[in-house]
Structure 1
Amino acid sequence: MKKQELIKKLQDIEWQDFEVKEAKSAVPKNSWETVSAFCNTSGGWLIFGVSKKGKEYSVTGVDNPEKIEHDFLTALRSDKINRKIKVEAKKYSLEGKSVLAFNIPSVYPKDKPVYFNTLSNTFIRTGSGDQRATKEEIDALYRNSSFDKKDEEPTQYTFKDLDKETITRYRTYLKSIEPEHRYNEVSAERMLELMRVIVNGKVTIGGALVFGTEEVVNRAISDFRVEYLEVMGKSFADAQNRYDYRMPVQKNLYEYYFSIFEKLLKHINIPFKLKGFSRDENQPQVIAIREALVNLLMHTDYFSNAKPRIRILSDRIEFFNPGSLPKDLKYILKEEFSMPRNNTIARIFRTIKLSENIGSGFHKMFHGWTSYYKRKPKVDGDFDYYKIMF
């Protein structure tokens, strides 16, 4: 039978991904590859009692479903897997035969990688198959495991190594929007200590990326840059030139934010509206793009070989984020969920009100863009990246 027919018979399951094993009389050995792959990527359903040949699915049934279910669930809580995995188990009767279905969850970033027996048995899901993870992919999973801690690590640098011009600009901006803020009453160095940009006299990685000189930033993260490209076509292949504009390297993330945001504003519609006696530029579609930009800077895995990238194409704006989302998007949108990859960077931008503190950033992106352009942004991704398209 076709895959669609099987899904129809199991219609109470919300299928996100799908793998079948014959499992006639025992738990198949390659089941652990699928468990690892689902846990490390987006989760999915593992079905015992169904075989696949080409595009055809056949119900073969499980001879002793109680024993196989017990053996499988027991193994998931044993030392065979490096993490205890809690799954949802269901039993079905199809064509008079027993079929077992197990919902394998995607685990939190801090619990990855999930593997069986040895680290080399780390798998990821690509398309509809399980693939052994490369060293680079395993490294990315480990970086995800320190999801909100990496940018809090200290560097060798102190306050005197930071870019004084950037710090002055930051303090001036803060005073203009929050004249009564307590940080305005203390020295620049003390402000950075209170914000935990400087801890025990040492600048954190996140602090170096936002406030560092170009030399400091490039020592903290080799080959550091945020790519901003304007392409006159729907793709590189469609464009006459590979790109019509590429932003020059900026010295730190604070400079990148304002340089990129100024460019982005030229590519969205901003109708003239008055707010009091001045033009209102804080409109929903502007807020959506601003949140997307700050989201990129707060959530990027700066130690990835990939670079954060913004592409302006003729029919869309793309924000490419190295590093995965902390949870599935549907849960982020359902809850007021906030877990930035880079806590220090998030704190710096939130202090000057360029980002939300209560997990509503994605809501503002989706609501703001949809309310003006009448279409929702699209989000695509995997265990080591995600991309938002407006």
Structure 2
Amino acid sequence: MRKLFSLLLFFAFLVANSQSNTDVFLFDLKTSSNSIELLNHKNISANDGYDNQPSFLDNNTVLYAGTRNDQTDIVKYTINYDSKIFINHTEGGEYSPLKIPNKNEVSAVRLDPDGLQRLYTYNLRNGESKELIKDLVVAYYTWYDNNIVVCAAIEENRLNLFVVNTKGGTSKKYQENVGRSFHKIPNSNLVSFISKENNTWQIKSLNPKTGVTKVIANTMEGVEDICWLNSKTILSGKDSKLYKLTLQKDNNWKQVADLSSKGISKITRLATNLESSMLLIAGDINENAKKTEETKEKEKPASETSNEVSEAEAIVQKQLEAYNNRDIDAFMATYSKNVKLYNYPNELQTDGAQQMRKRYEQWFNQTPDLRAFIKKRIVIGNKIIDEEQVTANGQIFNAVAIYEVENGLISKVTFIQ
């Protein structure tokens, strides 16, 4: 009965968050000792439904929980190419994806169709997953290092704070009634969390190795989502407004920006990269502002580019995204009508888009775990040479693909296996 209630509690949290139409926005940050500016905003999810819980994989890659076919999975968004792919293919829904320190893996909370909820790891090369913590119903978390997780686990009718050593298989509870926001505090050996023990919620620090906790500051009323800009400055959002609190300087939260004109009506999550040069904001969408932005985007004249390399890379990256999503229409849209596929050096495999479409449509339909990972990319003029690792039907194999781009579309591909 307790397990059922715990699962229902998390489901209630989930429904409360996912009923709204949230999107993920990326901003450039310009900071000084006296000001914080948000520049060059972009809606990177641009999708109906729940898109939330963003984090930085690195300075060119964003992870977030995104909706497809009424299911929430892990999305990897590449900033340079403005492209996104789903990196997992499970029946369960994935939430709160984070990079695991010093590993080529990400973690996420998985909620399976049968109600089982656990923290899993996902290999970035082939998408394979494995259960990480067996005995706790983890709802929210962060990594302290590559072995220690600080998390909120569901117990009875609340979230309680645990520190889990995944290598040693040990866990210890340090506080009851906490919020969902966990962050490693920059340049420290501490993790911040939200304490809800009192009527006034507090931001506290925890040393996961000693268990020592200290009060840092009060949250804004009813707000439990924060992130750290640096070791002294905290960002938080309330409705459409972004606030900051600089410790030992600000007496209270100070407004930084009103994002209602950017299409955000309510800020729900925030994350910065390590250098604090970029900010991710997830929030409820103001539909009127969203339509205005879409209209402006459509009215922009097509930009002319003289950078053939960027054009070639972009179209090859788009076909990779479509390949991993098994989207045959988007995949074929990156190829010319007269495209030819060869096995090295000159063995013709398909001639023309019609033959190619038939071959790949069958391949996509028969391969539910299909995924290609680029190990190395070389750009030479209009030619893109990718060293690829491909997962298909439980098997992993390596190949080299040489793409040739003409007039913005891929006209020839030569495979070396």
Q: Normalization by structure 1: what TM-score?
A: 0.23
Which structure has the greater CA radius of gyration?
A: 1
Q: Normalization by structure 2: what TM-score?
A: 0.22
